[in-house]
């Protein structure tokens, strides 16, 4: 399809414009829209596209107030449209305010910055100076003592977060927008020149963030670093703060009395063998069973999958014996196809021997969901492949293909993973950047960073378990050394610290064996 041929794919959280949807996207939208008009042959556009994609991930939470779009003016079907918008050079960025008219040509950004922070600031500048204001956009102007005094009389929110900052800082407005989809918290910026409030709270550091409560009580928000990402992360996790429109948290610390199994208490910062074995059971006995005949690429995928499991799965001896017998059976299948029935027989026969087994059925622990349709198998899939990349880094001999585990995952997902849109997004990411993996360390980090991209994209979706919100993982609480900021105070992962964290978190010696039969 044409969309695929351009510089952006549907996985990028950027609306792909075309003659059919342009009017419904740009005209009369409740959110402001920033649209990039580019030509896929233009080198500057190619160079800019990773920045625009990062921007889309970075301001994902702002979507109800401002959203990003793009259109490939080099595509035959878009040429007329781009000339109707008076596009003469690429890339052109245009701002369309909320409720723009169908004939609006938008307002072009002159000489726009080519970095995420610069672009974000320019978007805020436009947002602040537009009419009409997008209804979902919270107030961005600085607040005052007088306004704060009456705040709790007119607002029924639990937390008021005040970000004290210099007039030139954007952090307060950025955090306000980052929190716009969350309830029970309001964020306002306070300028360092607002003497009454600065004195009353004894503020000496700019920026800094305070939580302000009725009757004038306040406490300082504790963060590792005084910067946007750290404030937003901490505020989204305050007690009572929830995503708007989501069902309230389910109390899951009591065993249920329905047909559902009782809740198994577990440590949220550990990996459980029960989840890994459940994932194997589900993939081998349920997911594969949907394919009565396995041939061609799918057969190659299956062989690779079992082969990396045999090599790197840190399983119990009985489980490893089962994987080895499946592996050697598969290696001996020289015909172009197998039936699932034949594979099932191998699984069943092997399971009859006392030293070979794969527990039947699933027993989720770290991957339990607060509802039957949440978490479980996809959670187990991620966990399994993180464990495998980590095992490959610690045990694979020199000269092994560093992409061995990732290619096996890519093939498995493409051939068998039941969530087809997930498989398509994963394939887009793999196609885009898996070639860059050149060592087993970079394989571990690649999977971690792509998993975070997925977390970013689906945060707030219906598939998100409200009890297990999607975060950029690991959180500052789990690994404070993993997080740092650049000179310009932008959040930056400290990969030198993330790698050892992952190596330890997913290491075979730390996997807990509670709840195994």
In whole angstroms, how close is the CB of 330 to ligand FAD at the nearest point? 23
For residue 340, state whether it binds ligand FAD (rule: CB under 6 A): no
The structure tokens listed for 466 are 């409200």
For residue 422, state whether it binds ligand FAD (rule: CB under 6 A): yes
In whole angstroms, how close is the CB of 12 to ligand FAD at the nearest point? 12
Kindly tell me which residue out of 164, 233, 426, 446 binds ligand FAD, with binding defined by CB under 6 A. Answer: 426
Q: Which one of 81-89, 156-164, 279-287, 449-457 is the stretch in contact with ligand FAD (CB under 6 A)?
A: 449-457
8 A C-beta contact, residue 155 and residue 184: no
Written in H, E and C, the secondary structure of 147-216 is: HHHCHHHHCCCCEEEEEEECCCCCHHHHHHHHCCCEECEEEEEEECCCHHHHHHHCCCCCCEEEEECHHH
**Residues in CB range of 390: below 8 A, 6 or more apart:** 444, 502, 503, 506, 507
Q: Which one of 15-23, 173-181, 190-198, 380-388 is the stretch in contact with ligand FAD (CB under 6 A)?
A: 380-388
In whole angstroms, how close is the CB of 312 to ligand FAD at the nearest point? 16
Given the complex with ligand FAD, which of 37 and 448 has the nearer CB atom?
A: 448
In whole angstroms, how close is the CB of 307 to ligand FAD at the nearest point? 19
In whole angstroms, how close is the CB of 283 to ligand FAD at the nearest point? 11
In whole angstroms, how close is the CB of 455 to ligand FAD at the nearest point? 5
- With b for 16 or more beta-carbon neighbours within 10 A and e for fewer, the 367-382 pattern comes to bbbbeeebbbbbbbbb
Q: Which one of 104-112, 127-135, 227-235, 379-387 is the stretch in contact with ligand FAD (CB under 6 A)?
A: 379-387
Given the complex with ligand FAD, which of 375 and 403 has the nearer CB atom?
A: 375
At residue 72, the 3 state secondary structure works out as: strand
For residue 63, state whether it binds ligand FAD (rule: CB under 6 A): no
Distance CA 340, CA 501 (A): 39
Catalytic residues: 42, 45
Instruction: Report the Cα–Cα distance between both ends of the chain, in Å, rounded.
Output: 49
In the chain, how many H helices and how many E strands?
19, 15
At residue 505, the 3 state secondary structure works out as: helix
Dihedral sign computed on CA atoms, order 217, 220, 222, 227: positive
Q: Which one of 120-128, 250-258, 414-422, 508-516 is the stretch in contact with ligand FAD (CB under 6 A)?
A: 414-422
8 A C-beta contact, residue 98 and residue 30: yes
For residue 383, state whether it binds ligand FAD (rule: CB under 6 A): yes
In whole angstroms, how close is the CB of 176 to ligand FAD at the nearest point? 26
Q: Which one of 37-45, 93-101, 351-359, 448-456 is the stretch in contact with ligand FAD (CB under 6 A)?
A: 448-456
**Residues in CB range of 446: below 8 A, 6 or more apart:** 406, 433, 434, 436, 437
Kindly tell me which residue out of 138, 139, 378, 466 binds ligand FAD, with binding defined by CB under 6 A. Answer: 378
Given the complex with ligand FAD, which of 112 and 382 has the nearer CB atom?
A: 382
Given the complex with ligand FAD, which of 24 and 269 has the nearer CB atom?
A: 269
Given the complex with ligand FAD, which of 173 and 403 has the nearer CB atom?
A: 403
| Binding track, positions 450-489, relative to ligand FAD; x by CB under 6 A | -xx-xx--x--x-x-x--x----x----------------
Given the complex with ligand FAD, which of 308 and 367 has the nearer CB atom?
A: 367
Given the complex with ligand FAD, which of 373 and 398 has the nearer CB atom?
A: 373
In whole angstroms, how close is the CB of 388 to ligand FAD at the nearest point? 12
Given the complex with ligand FAD, which of 82 and 406 has the nearer CB atom?
A: 406
8 A C-beta contact, residue 400 and residue 441: no
Strand 242-243 and strand 182-183: the pairing is: antiparallel
In whole angstroms, how close is the CB of 15 to ligand FAD at the nearest point? 17
Written in H, E and C, the secondary structure of 280-346 is: HHHHHHHHHHHCCEEEHHHHHHHHHHHHHHHHHCCCCHHHHHHHHHHHHHHHCCCCCEEEHHHHHHH
What interhelical angle do 440-458 and 404-415 show, nearest 10?
40
Total residues at the site for ligand FAD (CB under 6 A)?
25
For residue 112, state whether it binds ligand FAD (rule: CB under 6 A): no
For residue 420, state whether it binds ligand FAD (rule: CB under 6 A): no
At residue 108, the 3 state secondary structure works out as: strand
Given the complex with ligand FAD, which of 222 and 373 has the nearer CB atom?
A: 373
8 A C-beta contact, residue 244 and residue 182: yes
Distance CA 387, CA 393 (A): 10
Kindly tell me which residue out of 379, 392, 444, 445 binds ligand FAD, with binding defined by CB under 6 A. Answer: 379
Q: Which one of 18-26, 128-136, 156-164, 420-428 is the stretch in contact with ligand FAD (CB under 6 A)?
A: 420-428
Given the rule CB under 6 A, which residues bind ligand FAD?
367, 375, 378-379, 381-383, 386, 413, 419, 421-422, 425-426, 448, 451-452, 454-455, 458, 461, 463, 465, 468, 473
């Amino acid at each position: 399809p044409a969309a695929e041929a351009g510089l952006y794919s549907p996985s990028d959280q950027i609306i792909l414009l075309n003659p059919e949807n342009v009017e419904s996207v740009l005209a009369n939208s409740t959110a402001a829209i920033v649209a990039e008009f580019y030509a896929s042959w233009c080198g500057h556009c190619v160079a800019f596209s990773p920045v625009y994609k990062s921007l889309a991930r970075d301001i994902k939470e702002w979507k109800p107030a401002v959203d990003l779009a793009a259109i490939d003016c080099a595509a035959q079907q878009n040429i007329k449209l781009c000339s109707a918008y008076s596009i003469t050079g690429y890339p052109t960025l245009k701002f369309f305010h909320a409720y723009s008219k169908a004939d609006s040509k938008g307002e072009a950004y002159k000489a726009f910055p080519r970095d995420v922070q610069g672009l974000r600031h320019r978007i805020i500048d436009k947002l602040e100076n537009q009419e009409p204001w997008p209804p979902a956009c919270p107030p961005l102007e600085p607040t005052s003592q007088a306004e704060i005094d009456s705040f709790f009389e007119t607002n029924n929110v639990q937390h008021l977060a005040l970000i004290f900052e210099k007039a030139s800082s954007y952090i307060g407005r950025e955090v306000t927008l980052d929190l716009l989809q969350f309830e029970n918290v309001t964020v306002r910026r306070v300028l360092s020149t607002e003497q009454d409030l600065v004195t009353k709270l004894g503020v000496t550091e700019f920026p800094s963030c305070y939580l302000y409560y009725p009757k004038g009580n306040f406490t300082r928000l504790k963060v590792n670093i005084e910067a946007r990402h750290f404030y937003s992360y901490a505020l989204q996790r305050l007690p009572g703060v929830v995503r708007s429109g989501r069902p309230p948290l389910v109390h899951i610390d009591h065993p249920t009395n329905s047909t559902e199994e009782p809740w198994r208490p577990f440590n949220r910062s550990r990996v459980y063998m029960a989840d890994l074995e459940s994932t194997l059971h589900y993939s081998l006995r349920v997911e594969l069973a949907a394919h009565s005949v396995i041939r061609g690429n799918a057969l190659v995928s299956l062989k690779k999958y079992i082969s990396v499991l045999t090599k790197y799965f840190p399983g119990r001896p009985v489980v490893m014996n089962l994987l080895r017998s499946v592996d050697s059976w598969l290696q001996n299948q020289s015909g172009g196809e197998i039936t699932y029935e034949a594979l099932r027989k191998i699984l069943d026969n092997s399971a009859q021997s006392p030293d070979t087994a794969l527990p039947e059925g699933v027993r989720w622990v770290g991957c339990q969901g607060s509802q039957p349709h949440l978490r479980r198998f996809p959670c187990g899939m991620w966990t399994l492949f993180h464990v495998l990349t980590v095992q490959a880094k610690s045990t694979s001999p020199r000269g092994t293909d560093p992409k061995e585990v990732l290619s096996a995952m890519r093939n498995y997902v493409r051939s068998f993973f039941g969530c087809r849109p997930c498989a398509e997004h994963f394939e887009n990411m793999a196609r885009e950047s898996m070639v860059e993996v050149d060592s087993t360390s970079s394989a571990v980090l690649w999977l971690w960073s792509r998993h975070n991209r997925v977390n970013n994209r689906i945060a707030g979706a219906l598939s998100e378990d409200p009890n297990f919100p999607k975060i950029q993982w690991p959180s500052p609480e789990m690994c404070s050394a993993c997080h740092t900021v650049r000179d310009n105070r932008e959040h930056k992962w400290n990969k030198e610290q993330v790698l050892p964290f992952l190596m330890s978190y997913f290491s075979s010696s730390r996997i807990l064996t509670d709840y195994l039969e």
